[in-house]
Amino acid sequence: MITDVRISARAQKQLRKVPAHVVGKLYVWVELVATDGLEEARKIPGYHDEPLRGDRAGQRSIRLNRAYRAFYSIMSDGTVEFVSVEEVNKHEY
């Protein structure tokens, strides 16, 4: 059962620019993984945990709100590492 979560330096830097309620939701998910395991955390429908394709194949994402996603990978040592937290906007300006 996977219960260890790391947040990369890049993701920590990105979290400084994200609204506080979004950061809070990420840390709630991290605590959930630590207490119940990754498989149970994936079952919570509000996070929409999903595998990614294309350039991000091998990664998964969780939705922190309508605008922000956190991308993570499962490392070879069995820990979850958040790679990045990004604002997702489908509009090209």
Ordered domains of the chain (ranges, CATH): 5-87 (3.30.2310.20)
C-alpha of 80 from chain center: 9
Tens digits of residue pLDDT in 35-79:
999 999 999 999 999 999 999 999 999 999 999 999 999 999 999
Tens digits of residue pLDDT in 3-37:
999 999 999 999 999 999 999 999 999 999 999 99
Q: How many helices (H) and strands (E) does the chain have?
A: 3, 5
Token pair 């630590």: residue: 34
Closest CA to 70 of 93, 47, 91: 47
Residue 50 pairs with which residues in a beta bridge?
61
Percent of the chain with pLDDT over 90: 89
pTM: 0.89
CA of 35: how far to CAs of 30, 31, 49, 50, 62, in Å?
9, 6, 17, 21, 18
Euclidean distance between CA atoms 37 and 11, whole angstroms: 21
Kindly indicate the confidence band of residue 89, based on its pLDDT and cuts at 50, 70 and 90. confident
- 8, HSE (Cβ side, Cα atoms, 13 Å): 15
* pLDDT for residue 80 is more than 80: yes
